[in-house]
A and B are shown apart, each in its own frame.
Chain A
Amino acid sequence: MSQSPIRRLPPALRFSLMFAALAATAIAMPVIDPIQQHVVFPFTLSLATVSAAIIRWCGGSASALYDVLSLTSGCGAVRIANGCNAIEISGLLAAAMLAYPAPLRARLFGVIAGVGLLQGINLLRIISLLYLSCWSQAWFAFFHEYAWDAAIAFDALMIFLGWQRWQARPRRAAA
């Protein structure tokens, strides 16, 4: 029986090539106008609504209008734009998990749970930035443009490594 050329590659190289292909797809998707218009944009709008609901649920007072999330006191407001929706890092995490040589069920579970966790962290980021915008514009800019992005990328790497450890555990136990 002949194997496909991609299956004959060393696992590390196969993972790298598949990750590169999937990551390139993840980068291209939001750039395509219909996807941007019908998927990315509505999803970004929903982040404002969900963030406002979380703040209200925690006893705060916030409202969402279109893509603008604001504190009802008028103290601070943020516009949730592209780049604030963690779609990029979610796409990279999904690409890494789907490319990794693990059982399909583990990969799908990893993508759903990992992306969900990352989006949860992103909601925390949006809410923290809203309150930061009320306190200091300089710190808001620093955390918005640099610090939170580095932190979310670090979280995504840890989620991936944690998932890899989790999915390898049953096979270790069976060995």
Chain B
Amino acid sequence: MPGVRSPLHRFALFAMLALVPLFGLWWLSVDVLTAALRPAAAWLAQQLLPITTIEARPGQGWMVRTSLKLVATAGSPQFGHSAAFDMANYYCRRLTLAWPALLALLLAPPRPRHLILRIVVAAAALSLLFALSVSAVAFCRVTALANHTAVPACDTDVPPFLVATPAYGPVAFFAARFGYYGALFFLPLVAPAILWLALNPLARMMFLGFGGRRTAAPD
């Protein structure tokens, strides 16, 4: 008779109990974590988007500077400047929401062999995901700037200035909203489960019946 000591119950109980302190620890250290990840995120955003720098603004999130020149008359204060936008703390923090969840899942039994190594791999994967997600969020803002329009799906109002760059087409506009929505609302929720199953073959076999190259028989 399957009782409370079934592997699934044990896993669920341990993961749930581990999640509470790990979540508290994450909350206490999240700003340090995002600060450590900012250079990598800035580098990737520079490669993918018309972004020059991402600067930290203590207590207020990040300032993202673009290479999009403002349209301004000679002599006005904006003349010669490039557009910039804020990325509030909420975004940076939310994009790391997967960290405590994945750690809780990896620490719960059944644990894989070489747990520390797998945690390191998980951290590398989450860092990459964070950098890509920052670019996805920034892309939506850049699209709003280039098209000079409000994008409610990205919580973006009509920019207060014009920039000298061609507007993005409808496909890029859809991709921007898709990326923003996916990065902010889907990836932080689904990434822990996917990475946990990818990094824990024992759990994959035990809970999903997938083992190695062949499907393992359930039990």
Chain A interface residues (CB < 8 Å from chain B) = 10-12, 15, 23, 26-28, 30-31, 82-83, 88-89, 92, 100-101, 142, 145-147, 149-150, 152-154, 156-158, 160-162, 164-165, 168, 171-172, 175
Contacts and interface: CB of A to CB of B under 8 A. Distances in A.
A161 B214 contact: no
A154 B19 contact: yes
A146 B208 CA distance: 28
B213 A150 contact: no
Which of the four size classes fits the interface of chain B? 35 or more
Interface of B: 8, 11-12, 15-16, 19, 23, 27, 90, 93-94, 97, 100-101, 105, 153, 174, 177-178, 181-182, 184-186, 188-190, 192-193, 204, 207-210, 213-215, 217-219
Contact of A158 (B12, B204, B214): B12
Contacts, number: 90
Contact of B219 (A26, A142, A164, A172): A172
A32 B116 CA distance: 42
Instruction: Provide the main secondary structure of the chain B interface.
Output: helix
Contacts of B214: 10
A150 B19 contact: yes
A149 B188 contact: yes
B90 A12 contact: no
B94 A92 contact: no
B8 A161 contact: yes
A150 B181 contact: no
Contacts of A162: 8
